[in-house]
């Protein structure tokens, strides 16, 4: 009986014969290759983080926790404190979220309901998701030529009338926290819209039906049932967008003004960890490189924590609503 064609074993030969050695080895090879790829990825992550920590070690050793609480960053004097930069990082991302979340959620709601024909909704969805495809540096350029003049113009009006509030204390520089945040908001909009939309569309139709059958209007149904059901996914979208905003580098470096001075005003220059790294690396040496590596480690830790939190909330959502499906 032929048991193989061109070296490939035929398995359905009537009697159950033991598997040939090649057959057994081949899946093992495949499995091994995949395993190797996985292990390499994990090792790579560990290697990157290890390398950062290693290079940062002199600064960690020298400045310790004072690096995080210090408010002065002056390489000439060998003083490195990143508190203003940390605040700038969190503040710019938070401001971006404040603008992008209502906008992104509205878009997500609009394209998950049947207000428009489906083809048109898919088109809007596509356009919003296209925003994610624009390179960061293009956002930066657009910010320089469009948003900076706008912020200068209207920021001056703001500081003239509301200058007594620390938030709008003048003068209005074009390169400012506000400018960077506005552009960041646009950049994280696709993240919020995409994840919110997908958590809205998986709300089971039976819930919508149940709400209508109780005499609810569409808006009562959206506010009372659909949004609460999707809310963990919406929270996750906000967290992931926050993480993206914190790590965003090029556009922010071009727009934020790169000032390590602590300031309350949204209209004055500020800095973020990623922008600090991008702007100072080329001309740094000695302990400054180490200090920048320390800042990089902080940035990685921050984004890691935020992203893990986002992923966890997202998983919790899927588990919580799985009963309904």
Which of 37, 76, 215, 282 forms a contact with another protein (CB under 8 A)? 215
Q: Which residues contact 197 (CB under 8 A, 6 or more apart)?
A: 107, 108, 111, 112, 125
What is the distance of C-alpha 157 from the center of its chain?
Answer: 32
112 binds another protein (CB under 8 A): no
# residues near another protein by CB under 8 A? 23
Q: Rounded to the nearest whole angstrom, what is the least distance from the CB of residue 111 to another protein in the complex?
A: 17
Residue 291: exposure state from Cβ atoms within 10 A (0-12, 13-18, ≥19): buried
**Separation of alpha carbons 310 and 319, rounded Å:** 14
CB 271 within 8 A of CB 88: yes
CB 132 within 8 A of CB 190: yes
Helical pair 273-280 and 227-247, crossing angle rounded to 10 deg: 20
Q: Which is nearer to another protein, 229 or 280 (CB)?
A: 229
**Separation of alpha carbons 179 and 175, rounded Å:** 6
Q: Rounded to the nearest whole angstrom, what is the least distance from the CB of residue 317 to another protein in the complex?
A: 10
Phi, psi for 230 (deg, rounded to 5):
-85, -5
Q: Rounded to the nearest whole angstrom, what is the least distance from the CB of residue 121 to another protein in the complex?
A: 14
Q: Which is nearer to another protein, 102 or 228 (CB)?
A: 228
Which of 225, 254, 256, 292 forms a contact with another protein (CB under 8 A)? 225
**Separation of alpha carbons 101 and 184, rounded Å:** 12
**Separation of alpha carbons 214 and 192, rounded Å:** 31
Which of 22, 51, 160, 220 forms a contact with another protein (CB under 8 A)? 220
**Separation of alpha carbons 58 and 56, rounded Å:** 6
Q: Which is nearer to another protein, 98 or 223 (CB)?
A: 223
Locate tokens 């603008």: which residue? 99
Q: Which is nearer to another protein, 35 or 217 (CB)?
A: 217
End-to-end CA distance of the chain: 52
Subset of residues 172 to 211 that bind another protein, contact rule: CB under 8 A: 204, 206-207, 209-211
Which of 212, 287, 311, 316 forms a contact with another protein (CB under 8 A)? 212
Q: Which is nearer to another protein, 27 or 204 (CB)?
A: 204
Q: What is the dihedral of CA 33, 36, 40, 41, to 10 degrees?
A: 70
Find the part of the chain contacting another protein (CB under 8 A) among 65-73, 157-165, 225-233, 266-274.
225-233
213 binds another protein (CB under 8 A): yes
Residue 100 C-beta-side C-alpha neighbours within 13 Å: 33
Which of 68, 79, 216, 309 forms a contact with another protein (CB under 8 A)? 216
Q: Rounded to the nearest whole angstrom, what is the least distance from the CB of residue 114 to another protein in the complex?
A: 8
Structure tokens that stand for 129 in this block: 């998701």
Which of 55, 121, 218, 261 forms a contact with another protein (CB under 8 A)? 218
Subset of residues 285 to 324 that bind another protein, contact rule: CB under 8 A: 320-321, 323-324
Find the part of the chain contacting another protein (CB under 8 A) among 28-36, 158-166, 216-224, 234-242.
216-224
228 binds another protein (CB under 8 A): yes
Q: Rounded to the nearest whole angstrom, what is the least distance from the CB of residue 206 to another protein in the complex?
A: 4
- Binding residues for another protein, rule: CB under 8 A, are 204, 206-207, 209-220, 224-225, 228-229, 320-321, 323-324
């Amino acid at each position: 009986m032929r048991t193989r064609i061109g070296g490939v074993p035929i398995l359905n030969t009537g009697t159950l014969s033991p598997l040939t050695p090649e057959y057994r080895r081949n899946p093992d090879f495949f499995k091994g290759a995949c395993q190797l790829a996985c292990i390499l990825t994990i090792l790579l992550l560990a290697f990157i983080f290890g390398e950062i920590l290693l290079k940062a070690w002199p600064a960690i050793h020298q400045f310790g926790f004072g690096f995080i609480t210090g408010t002065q960053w002056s390489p000439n004097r060998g003083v490195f404190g990143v508190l203003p930069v940390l605040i700038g990082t969190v503040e710019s991302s938070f401001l971006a979220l404040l603008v992008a979340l209502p906008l992104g959620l509205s878009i997500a709601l609009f394209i998950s309901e049947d207000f428009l024909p489906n083809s048109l909704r898919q088109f809007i969805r596509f356009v919003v998701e296209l925003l994610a495809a624009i390179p960061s540096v293009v956002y930066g350029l657009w910010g320089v030529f469009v948003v900076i003049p706008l912020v200068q113009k209207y920021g001056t009006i703001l500081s003239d009338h509301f200058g007594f509030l620390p938030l709008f204390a003048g003068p209005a520089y074009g390169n400012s926290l506000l400018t960077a945040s506005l552009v960041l908001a646009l950049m994280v909009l696709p993240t919020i819209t995409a994840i919110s939309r997908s958590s809205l569309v998986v709300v089971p139709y039976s819930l919508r039906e149940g709400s209508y059958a109780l005499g609810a209007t569409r808006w009562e149904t959206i506010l009372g049932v659909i949004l609460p059901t999707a809310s963990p996914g919406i929270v996750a979208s906000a967290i992931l967008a926050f993480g993206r905003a914190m790590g965003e580098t090029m556009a922010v470096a071009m727009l934020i003004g790169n000032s390590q001075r602590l300031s309350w005003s949204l209209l004055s220059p500020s800095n973020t960890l990623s922008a600090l790294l991008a702007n100072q690396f080329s001309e740094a040496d000695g302990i400054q490189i180490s200090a920048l590596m320390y800042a990089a480690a902080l940035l990685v830790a921050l984004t890691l924590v935020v992203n893990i939190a986002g992923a966890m909330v997202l998983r919790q959502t899927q588990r919580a609503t799985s009963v309904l499906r």
